[in-house]
Amino acid sequence: MPVTGDHQLLKQLNRMALVRQVSTQPGLSRASLAEVLGLTKSTVSMLVRELMDEGWLVERDLIATGDVGRRATPLHLDPGRLALLGAEIGVDEVRVVATNLLGEVLDMRVLPYDESRDPAHCIELAAAGLLRLARRLGSGAGGGGARRVLGIGVGLHGGVDEMLGVLRYAPHLGWRNVDVDEQLRAHFAGTALEGLPLYMQNEANVAALAEFEFTGQSGTDPLVYLSIGYGVGAGVIVGDNLLTGLNGFAGEVGHAILQENGPVCSCGRRGCADALIGLASLPGMEKPSRAALERLVEQVAQGQHEACAAVAAAGGQLGVLLNNLWVAFDPMAIVIGGPALRLGDALVEPACRVLAAYADAAMLSAPELRTSRFGADAVAIGAAALARHRLTRPLDLQSMARRTDKAGRHKPAYFLQ
């Protein structure tokens, strides 16, 4: 329901504050929530009742406190009645998932492209996959009863204008200025997904949100997610918010210069991280594909000198980039993800050695370094996390809607929910 006044906005802010608090601290009682959020007990009770009726929250077993009177009832996110949809429109394929509010995967499909250079075909494939998942959720397929879809997120491989839903440039697909939002909405017209909240962001950004929203790591802030695929990108979370920059292109660390007068990058500069670390820079990857990556993985496993030396060199440059991200953001954790992790220790160990050497030289402790918990599904699950992240932060949506209006394009009313 659109917000039409300050009272409704305040109520929605309080509702979603309750949801976020229960997500961060599962098991809180109504009284504890009132104390933490500075709300009256009667307000919390009313809002909790609404959220339980809608499927956001659920009560669990009573807590024995030892006090006289009614015992506290712990609240948790309800995993059983609502769903989020996420899609990765990738370089080789579309990957779509349905998750519950906790990020647990309910259903998933992987759909290879017939022609990756045709954005309309790839977007249509993503829409078809999302619609199929929505139909299964609505019918209760897989058990557990029918679920209501709250929103849809999309992860895209390139620079994204989230306010307009436009993919500005995807270098490894060759796409420019593709209105993904408009095309998806056209495919959703007349279906169960018509009018639902739809959000999109760069693939590294949504993968960062998967780690932040769905792993109990909300206390890990700042958080940097480094995605290493055919190129290199980063998603950065600071102060509970995704850092997107003035034009939405923050985190394009693939074009940070690591080596003066180094190899030429696709952007025209020399010595970029993309040209030194990205899979497209490695032997046999002139035309990046999953098959080419698997051949490289096999060559490294067999100990072929050229492949091993190239991957080790890329790992050393990765360590330099990790150091630069550390000093730039001082994160609690850096998470490494993306297809390049198929190379395993051959890539990661040299990076860890370089980062440790920098830390020793500075007599400092490097941030926690770990790999993604979601593997190949990180972007698709992260897209679902993007939907939850935006829906539970109404002020962010209002700010985005105002900026979009100034840019001359209307955003749907759900941006003011």
Which is more confident, 183 or 401? 183
Across 168-176, average pLDDT: 87
pLDDT at 413: 44
Distance CA 204, CA 323 (A): 18
* Helix H or strand E segment including 377: none
Q: Residue 364, Cβ neighbours under 10 Å: how many?
A: 11
Q: What mean pLDDT comes out for the span 351-378?
A: 95
Q: What is residue 400's predicted lDDT score, i.e. its pLDDT? A: 59
pLDDT of amino acid 11: 93
Question: What pLDDT band is residue 416 in, cutting at 50, 70 and 90?
Answer: very low
Helix (H, G, I), strand (E, B) or coil at 63: strand
Check residue 248 and give its pLDDT. Answer: 72
Of 57-61, 82-86, 273-277, 372-376, where does mean pLDDT reach its minimum?
57-61
Query: Can you give the residue ranges of every domain in the chain?
Result: 6-77, 82-206+378-416, 219-372
Q: If you average pLDDT over every residue of the chain, what do you get?
A: 89
The pTM assigned to this predicted structure is: 0.89
State the pLDDT at residue 172. 80
Task: Please choose, from the candidates 92, 75, 91, the residue with its C-alpha nearest in 3D space to the C-alpha of residue 34.
Answer: 75
Closest by Cα among 80, 77, 91, 151 to 119 = 91
For the stretch 164-180, what's the b/e string if a residue is b when 16 or more beta carbons lie within 10 angstroms of its beta carbon?
Answer: bbbbbebbbbebeebbb
pLDDT at residue 415 in the model: 40
Supply the pLDDT for residue 67: 55
pLDDT in tens, 42-76: 999 999 999 999 999 999 876 555 555 556 789 99
Which CATH homologous superfamily contains domain 82-206+378-416? Answer: ATPase, nucleotide binding domain (3.30.420.40)
Nearest to 239 by CA among 173, 164, 309, 331: 331
Rounded Cα distance between 279 and 45, Å, is 53
What tens digit of pLDDT does each residue of 138-164 get?
Answer: 988 767 789 999 999 999 998 899 989
Q: What is the mean pLDDT of residues 17-42?
A: 94
pLDDT exceeds 50 at position 1: no
Q: Please answer whether residues 198 and 156 qualify as being in contact, where contact means their C-beta atoms are separated by less than 8 angstroms.
A: no
**Sign of the CA dihedral with 411 first, then 94, 105, and 335 last:** negative
Judge whether 329 and 374 are in contact, CB under 8 Å: no
Q: How large is the average pLDDT for residues 366-381?
A: 94
Q: Looking at the domain 6-77, which fold is it?
A: Arc Repressor Mutant, subunit A (1.10.10)
State mean pLDDT over 193-220. 89
Equal CATH topology for 82-206+378-416 and 219-372 = yes
Averaged pLDDT for residues 106-128: 94
**Tokens linked to 331:** 């994160």
C-alpha triplet 405, 408, 410: angle, nearest 5°: 55
Instruction: Give yes or no for residue 235 having a pLDDT over 90.
Output: yes
Give the whole-angstrom CA distance, residue 157 versus residue 202. Answer: 6
CA torsion through residues 201, 37, 3, 417, sign: positive
Question: Side chain identity at 403, as an amino acid letter?
Answer: R
CA distances from 329 to 55, 238, 241, 326 (A): 37, 8, 14, 6
Token couple for 360: 């020793």
By C-alpha distance, which of 191, 206, 195, 279 is closest to 236? 206
Of 72-76, 265-269, 403-407, least confident by mean pLDDT is 403-407
Q: CATH assignment of 219-372?
A: 3.30.420.40
301-326 average pLDDT score: 96
